[in-house]
Amino acid sequence: MIVAAALPLIAEHGDRVTTKQIAEAAGIAEGTIFRAFASKDDLITAAVETALDPTTLDEAFAAIPHDLALHDSLVAAIVSMQQRVIDVWRLISGIGSRFFELAQHPVEDRQSLISIFERHADELSVEPTVAARLLRALILTTTHPMLARDTLPPEELARFFLHGAGREDRRC
């Protein structure tokens, strides 16, 4: 409850958020925070670890209906991936460098995303794991605020991912 209340405040105010603001958002007394966490930094650490936990993203991928066409499945996955990139970036960019080591770990392949591609393996020119890695790279580089000025629409990204940058009426 405390971490959930703290996350949007940390994303907005960074490590300058006050425990008073967090307590008000959580509907608790400020002292309650320090019964659960030794310090504000410990609370921020817990919030960052929660934000980086891929469970919510896995659940979003798992909720994509299995009978959707590949393009529509990708659009649904891209929506969730774009939101995660933006949310994590907002949080990490505001917390100060002393917390950066929390975000410094390699991104693992997500079976939940690979499964989407496995359902459509006959439509792919690469293995599902490779497709998942390539999609993740595309979404990161076209969504991360430090890499892209504007976020592209999920439909456009899915179309590009599946068909490339060439015009459909002009095959190489």
Do 95 and 22 have their domain in common? Answer: no
Do 159 and 122 have their domain in common? Answer: yes
Domain residues for 10? 1-51
* Arithmetic mean of pLDDT, 93-113: 81
Count how many domains the chain has.
2
Do 68 and 147 have their domain in common? Answer: yes
pTM of the model: 0.86
- Cα 55 to Cα 6, 18, 37, 41, 60: the distances in Å are 19, 28, 23, 23, 9
Tens of pLDDT, residue by residue over 4-15, are: 999 999 999 999
In the 8-state DSSP scheme, what is residue 92? H
Length of the chain: 172
Do 8 and 81 have their domain in common? Answer: no
Tell me how many degrees the CA angle 146-149-147 measures, rounded to the nearest 5: 30
Do 11 and 59 have their domain in common? Answer: no
Give the whole-angstrom CA distance, residue 3 versus residue 43: 7
Tens of pLDDT, residue by residue over 37-74, are: 999 999 999 998 998 899 999 999 999 999 999 999 99
Do 73 and 18 have their domain in common? Answer: no
Do 73 and 106 have their domain in common? Answer: yes
CATH number, residue 83: 1.10.357
